[in-house]
Structure 1
């Protein structure tokens, strides 16, 4: 009897965790849509059918170059929202296997929001990636004590993954900016993946 009760508790916990993850995924999409609308970006009405839960995904190789004139001095202290450009370094490639599940759908200034749109401007998918320019460093101060520091590189080359959905015609990157009370999204760049 104890074994059956333990099995039921474990099953309930697993079911609750799976449900919470699905709710979190839906709420990320809703939050991104609302933030884009607040920023004056129209992403269209949600598609009638969600992006297919495919067993394949696409990879894009991108470069992100900061506009050096927009960077403050000294160069080692990079500004996270420095103007720049995102460019396609290599055409998208189809890969086997689904996308990894995101553990947390919480926005953060150290992340980038990825939005996949169809030709009508409808959001087909959105996700979060760690800002590829971000470096965390432990550096000694004048007294020799280590302290943490966040540095943004002037350029980064990275691989971005999104669902293999034939309807996707544009992938946009947004940087979440926290003003102390709420997030806003700043467009970093957009690429046509195919």
Structure 2
């Protein structure tokens, strides 16, 4: 008999698979945008996790399997070129981070952090992509304040909706995550969940 969470997990997986299929139509030249669309596609899974429809261990296990599959494609030189970029493991780090967060943090806080990882990060890179494209630059991995503004705005919205903290605590949470995304020493798909997890000690 199918477990009670099975239909929800299947539905959540369908959103992700549909996003992967649709972004394939855009092609490799839109790889940076495509991978963020796929980030957005985990939002239904995150919300189902938040409302208790998908257990943390199921969410975590699925993210881990997906991360391992994407990692396996890299050394094989069989990347899905429309969203995976050679020598860039951001999508792998994202999946691995998403597998850890719900297992080590309370549901409400984990949901806020997962949404920041998916939505805020996605908005950021899409804004930067179109900014550089409009200004005639080759669209590569680079930071710009326009994207960071988008990250901050969405992270603030998430904080005020989900965090159990005072106004300044919510603002500082969004600001610090924005800085974690902007820094260039550690991949933001690792930096944001790491910093966000440490910030939990203050909430």
TM-score bucket (shorter structure): under 0.3
Q: TM-score, normalised by structure 1?
A: 0.25
**Greater relative CO (CA pairs within 8 A, separation 6+):** 1
Q: TM-score, normalised by structure 2?
A: 0.24
Greater helix share, structure number: 2
Greater strand share, structure number: 1
